[in-house]
Amino acid sequence: MVNETQHTCSASSSSKSDGGSSSGSESSKDSSRCSTPVLDAERHERLREKMRRRQDSGDKWFSLEFFPPRTASGAVNLTSRFDRMGAGGPLFIDVTWHPAGDPGSDKETSSMIIASTAVNYCGLETILHMTCCNQTKDEITGHLQKAKRLGLKNIMALRGDPVGEEWEEEVEGFNYAVDLVKHIRNEFDDYFDICVAGYPKGHPEAESYEADLRHLKEKVFAGADFIITQLFFRSETFLKFMKDCQAIGITCPIVPGIFPIQGYHSLRQLVRLSKLEVPQEIKDVIEPIKDNDAAIRNYGVELAVSMCRELLDSGMVHGLHFYTLNREVATTEVLKHLGMWKEDPRRPLPWAVSAHPKRRVEDVRPIFWASRPKSYIYRTQEWDDFPNGRWGNSSSPAFGELKDYYLFYLKSKSPREELLKMWGEELTSEESVFEVFTCYITGEPNKNGHRVTCMPWNDDPLATETNLLKEQLEKVNRRGILTINSQPNINGKPSTDPIVGWGPSGGYVFQKAYLEFFTSSEIVTALLKVLKKYESRVNYHIVNVKGQNITNAPDLQPNAVTWGIFPGREIIQPTVVDPVSFLFWKDEAFALWIEQWAKLYEEESPSRMIIQYIHDNYYLVNLVDNDFPLENCLWQVVDDTFELLNSPTQQ
Amino acid sequence: MVNETQHTCSASSSSKSDGGSSSGSESSKDSSRCSTPVLDAERHERLREKMRRRQDSGDKWFSLEFFPPRTASGAVNLTSRFDRMGAGGPLFIDVTWHPAGDPGSDKETSSMIIASTAVNYCGLETILHMTCCNQTKDEITGHLQKAKRLGLKNIMALRGDPVGEEWEEEVEGFNYAVDLVKHIRNEFDDYFDICVAGYPKGHPEAESYEADLRHLKEKVFAGADFIITQLFFRSETFLKFMKDCQAIGITCPIVPGIFPIQGYHSLRQLVRLSKLEVPQEIKDVIEPIKDNDAAIRNYGVELAVSMCRELLDSGMVHGLHFYTLNREVATTEVLKHLGMWKEDPRRPLPWAVSAHPKRRVEDVRPIFWASRPKSYIYRTQEWDDFPNGRWGNSSSPAFGELKDYYLFYLKSKSPREELLKMWGEELTSEESVFEVFTCYITGEPNKNGHRVTCMPWNDDPLATETNLLKEQLEKVNRRGILTINSQPNINGKPSTDPIVGWGPSGGYVFQKAYLEFFTSSEIVTALLKVLKKYESRVNYHIVNVKGQNITNAPDLQPNAVTWGIFPGREIIQPTVVDPVSFLFWKDEAFALWIEQWAKLYEEESPSRMIIQYIHDNYYLVNLVDNDFPLENCLWQVVDDTFELLNSPTQQ
């Protein structure tokens, strides 16, 4: 039995078909264009392969360095920054190792946890820095094992700064970064991609520039995959360094570290730490404007852009590494000037994919967590397998509970005072709650003049897609149908559609209309009567906080509500309405009323009691209109419900 | 954490919502209507449950009894009969046990293999008869284990006729059917559904009618699930028997055995075997017309219809069991008269589902075997898991080889002489082969006046769906694009569409246009040039008999070409173009040229050499147009190919 699967071997049965086979070969290469990198190749590639592929294709890339924040709220902010800067398309980010900050711990602010957040929750390819001096082998191995367990796949191996003034070699310990590289390769084989630091001017403590180059070569030959350099101020510095590296046989990628000057003080501090000297021509510009932050930043951006252009134009540089100092503006501006900031509206899936290697096959999720993807990832982090292609009913293992650490992600980004302004200093009735929901939908200021830009269930303003439903949503929220999630029906839009598209180009995406809301038991009673008329067209799940559950879902099967058809592929159905996980979502959705909203007010206060009443008595409802090619009937369902409620016989 | 999944529990938070919950309960019941029985409930139910559900719903059913054929070609014919009579919707069929015919062996004609064929290849719920006298426990256990292994789930437990004139009880052996029932329950627990025989007039060897009823009760209490009766000639006979059974506490279903008289001799033979007496009023009618088969059959049908009506009208009978004597006409007519023959155009999936319990989750197959489903089932019979929902690339285990036994299913149903008339007594060129393909498509007689009603790759006339493409297919076959499989594109037709619909009602079905054909290397060369223009829109696989393979499929991923969207469900994608299994199909598709066609002719004859040449030199090509919402572009691809071939620069 022939079981060859040669992709494009030459057809040899006749001379004419040789032409055929060669065209087959070309077109096979072309066809790889029809797949989304992230869905296919990149999703399964390791960092060094991605780097190599970008280099081969001539597609320039950038990366971003961050340091761990000091406070828990700083961690929340940094996570948002990861999301925003991740949107520009970095090849990876890296997180520095703070020996003084308990970097390998489970603290929200540790290097380990911040890097894990970037990988797992923000879906970013991430390098975790790690230093080795003053640490035992076992400590280091422990850190590496933990990093592996958390889904980290890349380590930047550094010596780190010795504690105290004088530094002495330890005979048994790790004295140089090369020792750490060897240790990683010994203990973890080829699991991690390893990055090491290069010093374009030589390490300040090295005997000489040449000796430092030899040390670098040792690190590479010990198993490092690529090099990121210390910052420098002139492109010649880097280009000379690169040639010198190549001359002694270093062939791996060398990535220049770019430091856009962002302010006088940060520059001085960095120079002190790196022991670099700022060129006179730069000093000459900066000193006169040292108190004008904006002017310095503008100069810094300009300087970085022109240096980056020189580097890229040299033909020797394929990627740029940015020392962001955890700030967004300067780096983003440099990248935009260079045309390298690419907010690709094309998403591989309708939700952000986690970068944890365990989750790489994941391509279907319940719709309920659409606005809370991090919470979903957290609650499913213990799963061994992730659904691939089909959700399957009741096959899903248990969801993680709502615990303390989770509240870190459950927390609103906004401070209490701001939330009170948005959601009401004082609530007088259920209707004042309706008003908050309505203002969130319309974007209009509330009666105190504040715009409602987030809700407990949506940390961000309304999605573009939801905007398509704005008018109807406004109408129903005013009447006490408190919507927290919705999508319009879509009957085969191109996968490249800027609003609803996702996945490889050349495909078609589809959706069933979905509406999820809290509402009173009176409305639920009428709704259920109305839904009888829509049987089999509309599937519903209706549940209260106690778990009392009314549904017409056949056999607890999941209902696919978003799917895509692509060239040369199986169907992808990335979101489902799953009856089983809805009951886990329900706990979270009800808890948010209390945790985020009720607790803004004093115990026993009327405002708090109103939210508590809603929490205790309202139902969480989801509706799916299965007839996606027809006009969405869910608005009619709601209209019919109010008509029934207002009819005299009902009273 | 609340993890209740009560389907329709009552909402108790307010008095008003009670109304809501009760309507929820009703509608939940209604909603089960939206699922295809076979896809859901029936597919996973055992026979006794199906029977019970039909009884509860008042949906009358019928079943069909067959006996094993004597010859291999008789087995081929019986298999076709299973398919045709299976289309009328029997609840089950049963296959008798022929003690003299090596019934438990692997012979093509054994009871075991015929029953296995019905289950596995024809997708019919099947009962295998088994007799116990003159057999050891071990032999019987061996038969039962084999039946289980082959996917049989139901046994009709019988005593069987003792060999020789006088019958003596064996102390250690099986003397009565009740011993076999007990044995099955002892050794196989509840695995099998067990049926036993009832004798409305009492067993001929029983001491009395009453004693026989007591024996029957013993069989039921030993674990039988239902009873099928011996034939009888008057409805009163059965209805009295049924009441007598109920009177002594037999509560399981009792199915009347119906014998439509089909001819004088078969009636006499049956009467002799069953030791029944034919009522005088029937004899009076039959004797005068005993040499007029048609007249006897008409009378038999009439008689059976009126008796069945009486039985059904009694309200005590929910199903009818037919002794077909392996003939179709009489039984089919009776059923049609009764309005019980239901050729339901609604299919659960686009292909016939096997009834083997191991395959019940199977819902995706490669399109290549669309016209050869039995061959596909045979070649995948050793698989432990069947793809469920997604095919997944390269995950499929090996396909079974093309072995002798397989040729039983590979064989054409038509005899050699007929095939020669259709496919040509003498072939003079490749064009005479094109002509055969063209005649098969058009349905017009060939130049010798014979219609081509089958091809080596299609045992049946053109499918209704393929008829949609008839004109274009004719045109391309004439020019040497020898099509063996095709489907039109479908952009969301209702799942109840009589031609292309399948699955539960209320859904929408979709297809990508597909075309599969053999063609010369000259045409392939031009085709590949043309396909460059259609890159990413058209996926292709092109392979010759040696396995040289040209494709633009990304990463050997399967391409879903048929899928359906249904209310409250995940997406179903029942057919894919899978690059890996295409290479297994290729072996079969090329082998059919030789096995079915070339071998009709003498070795070294010109006709045989023409087929051999095509086999050795042609390519097997498949094309998928991924842009299913647009007009099928595959005809344009073929037109462009011929235009290129005919252009002067090409020459």
Structure tokens at B66: 């067959």
Contacts of A259 (CB under 8 A, 6+ apart): A231, A270, A304, A322, A323
Choose the mutation target among B555, B614, B616, B645 for the interface with A, i.e. most A CBs under 10 Å: B555
- Say how far apart CA A542 and CA A524 lie, in whole Å: 8
Distances (CA, A) of B22 to A512, A624, B16: 27, 21, 11
Average pLDDT of the segment spanning A99-110: 88
Contact B617 A524 (CB under 8 A): no
Q: B-chain residues within 8 Å CB-CB of A617?
A: 13-14
Q: Give the per-residue pLDDT at B469.
A: 85
Residue ranges of B 455-494 with Cβ closer than 8 A to chain A: 491-492
User: What is each CA distance from A377 to A251, A393, A409, A516, A587, in whole angstroms?
Assistant: 39, 19, 10, 21, 16
Look at residue A409 in the predicted model and tell me its pLDDT: 61
Over the stretch B47-105, which tens digit does the pLDDT of each residue have? 999 999 999 999 999 999 999 999 888 888 899 899 899 989 999 999 999 887 889 99
Between these two residues, B564 and B269, which has the higher pLDDT value? B564
**Contact present, B94 and B157 (Cβ < 8 Å):** no
Four-CA torsion B141, B146, B149, B154, nearest 10 degrees: -70
DSSP state of A451: B
pTM to 2 decimal places: 0.84
In this predicted structure, the answer to whether residue B283 has a pLDDT above a threshold of 60 is yes
B13 and A544 within 8 Å at the Cβ level: the answer is: yes
Residue of A4, A45, A65, A522 marked catalytic: A65
Span A585-602, mean pLDDT? 93
Residue range A134-154: mean pLDDT, rounded: 94
Residue of B nearest to A389 (CA): B390
Residues 6+ apart with CB under 8 A from A156: A94, A127, A128, A129, A130, A194, A195, A196, A197, A228
- Residue (of B487, B500, B492, B582) closest to B542 by Cα position: B582
Please enumerate in sequence order all residues whose Cβ is within 8 A of that of A351, keeping only pairs 6 or more positions apart, or say none: A365, A370, A373, A574, A575
Percent of chain B with pLDDT over 70: 88
Q: Which 8-state DSSP code applies to residue B398?
A: P
Asked if residue B357 lies in contact with residue B331, where contact means CB atoms within 8 angstroms, the answer is no
Cα distance between residue B126 and residue A137, in whole Å: 67
The chain-wide mean pLDDT, for chain A, equals: 87
Inform me whether the pLDDT recorded for B119 exceeds 70. yes
pLDDT of residue B346 exceeding 90, the answer is no
Residue A35: pLDDT over 60:
no
pLDDT in tens, B328-344: 999 999 999 999 998 87
Residue B22's closest chain A neighbor by CA?
A528
Tell me which H or E stretch contains B155.
strand B154-158
**Burial code of B198-217, b = ≥16 C-beta within 10 A, e = fewer?**
bbbbbbeebeeeeebbebbb
What are residue A501's phi and psi, to 5 degrees?
A: -75, 155
Nearest C-alpha in B relative to A588: B1
Over range A175-198, report the average pLDDT.
95
Say whether pLDDT at A196 is over 60. Answer: yes
**Cα→Cα distances A539→A590, B54, B187, B236, B372, Å:** 21, 27, 45, 50, 38
Q: CB pairs under 8 A, 24+ apart, for A488-492?
A: A488/A513, A488/A632, A489/A513, A489/A625, A489/A628, A489/A630, A489/A632, A490/A628, A491/A628, A491/A629, A491/B492, A492/B491, A492/B492, A492/B629
Residue A354 pLDDT class (50, 70, 90 cuts)? confident
Over pLDDT 90: what percentage of chain A? 64
Taking alpha carbons only, the member of A52, A53, A58, A26 closest to residue A37 is A53
**What is the Cα–Cα distance from A311 to A327, expressed in whole angstroms?**
23
The closest of A454, A415, A421 to A437, measured between CA atoms, is A454
Interface test with A, best of B535, B575, B623 (most A CBs within 10 A): B535
Count of CA atoms in the C-beta half-sphere (13 A) of A54: 24
Rounded distance between C-alpha atoms, residue A314 and residue A319, angstroms:
12
Query: pLDDT band for position B533 (50/70/90)?
Result: very high
Position B164 scores a pLDDT of 52
DSSP B393: T
What pLDDT was estimated at residue A597?
95
In this predicted model, what pLDDT tens digit does every residue of A275-295 receive, in sequence order? 888 899 998 999 899 889 899
Reduce the DSSP state of residue A335 to 3 states and report it.
Answer: helix
Least confident window among A194-203, A393-402, B3-12: B3-12
Q: What is the C-alpha separation between B77 and B263, in angstroms, rounded?
A: 21
Q: Rounded distance, CA A501 to CA A492, Å? A: 10
Q: B492 pLDDT band (50/70/90 cuts)?
A: very high
Torsion on CA atoms B78, B79, B80, B85, rounded to nearest 10: 80
Per the CB < 8 A criterion, the answer to whether B454 and B422 are in contact is yes
Q: How far apart are CA A268 and CA B400, in angstroms?
A: 73
- Give me the catalytic one of B42, B45, B65, B431: B65
3-state secondary structure of A582: helix
Q: Tell me what pLDDT residue A405 has.
A: 56
Residue in chain B lying closest to A18 (CA): B525
Beta bridge partners of A486: A515
Q: How confident is the model at residue B128 (pLDDT cuts 50, 70, 90)?
A: very high
Q: Cβ–Cβ of A559/B568 closer than 8 Å?
A: yes
What is the reported pLDDT for A17? 34
- pLDDT recorded at residue A182: 96
Q: Using the beta-carbon criterion (under 8 Å), do B2 and A34 form an inter-chain contact?
A: no
Q: Is B383 exposed, middle or buried (0-12, 13-18, 19+ CB in 10 A)?
A: middle
**B443, exposed or middle or buried, with CB in 10 Å at 0-12, 13-18, 19+?**
middle
CB atoms closer than 10 angstroms to residue A97: 24
pLDDT reading at A41 higher than 60:
no
Between CA B539 and CA A34 the distance in angstroms is 11
**In B354-497, where does DSSP find H-type helix?**
373-379, 404-410, 416-423, 430-442, 464-467, 470-478
Q: Is A635 helix (H, G, I), strand (E, B) or coil?
A: helix
Q: How many CB atoms lie within 10 A of CB B280?
A: 8
B277 DSSP assignment: -
pLDDT at B173 over 80: no
**Would you call B9 and A550 a contact, using CB atoms and an 8 Å cutoff?**
yes
Closest C-alpha among B337, B315, B324, B331 to residue B239? B315
> Is A8's Cβ below 8 Å from some Cβ in B?
yes
A506 and B CB contact within 8 Å? yes
Using pLDDT thresholds of 50, 70 and 90, give the confidence band for residue B168: low
Alpha carbon of A79 to those of A151, A171, A178, B237: distances in Å? 17, 40, 32, 82
> How confident is the model at residue A39, as a pLDDT?
47
- For chain B, the average pLDDT equals 87
What is the percentage of chain A residues whose pLDDT exceeds 70? 88
B570 touches chain A (CB under 8 A): yes
Q: Check residue A14 and give its pLDDT.
A: 35
State the pLDDT confidence band at B265, using cuts at 50, 70 and 90: confident
How high is the pLDDT of residue A316? 94
Q: Nearest-CA distance from A601 to chain B in Å? A: 25
Asked if B184 contacts B219 with a C-beta cutoff of 8 angstroms, the reply is no
pLDDT at B171: 60
**pLDDT higher than threshold 50 for residue A29:** no
B3 has pLDDT over 60: no
CA distances (Å), A43 to each of A37, A113, A375, in order?
7, 22, 22
Token output for A560: 């696919």
Task: Give the separation between CA A270 and CA A613, rounded to whole angstroms.
Answer: 55
pLDDT tens digits for range A435-481: 999 999 999 999 889 999 999 998 877 877 777 788 999 999 999 99
Rounded to whole angstroms, the Cα distance separating A374 from A588 reads: 13
Mutation for testing the B interface, residue in A365, A399, A525 having most B CBs under 10 Å: A525
pLDDT band for position B42 (50/70/90)? low
User: In this predicted model, what pLDDT tens digit does every residue of B363-412 receive, in sequence order?
Assistant: 899 999 988 888 888 888 888 888 877 877 545 567 777 665 555 566 67
Minimum CA–CA partner of B32 in chain A? A554
Q: How far apart are CA B640 and CA B531, in angstroms?
A: 9
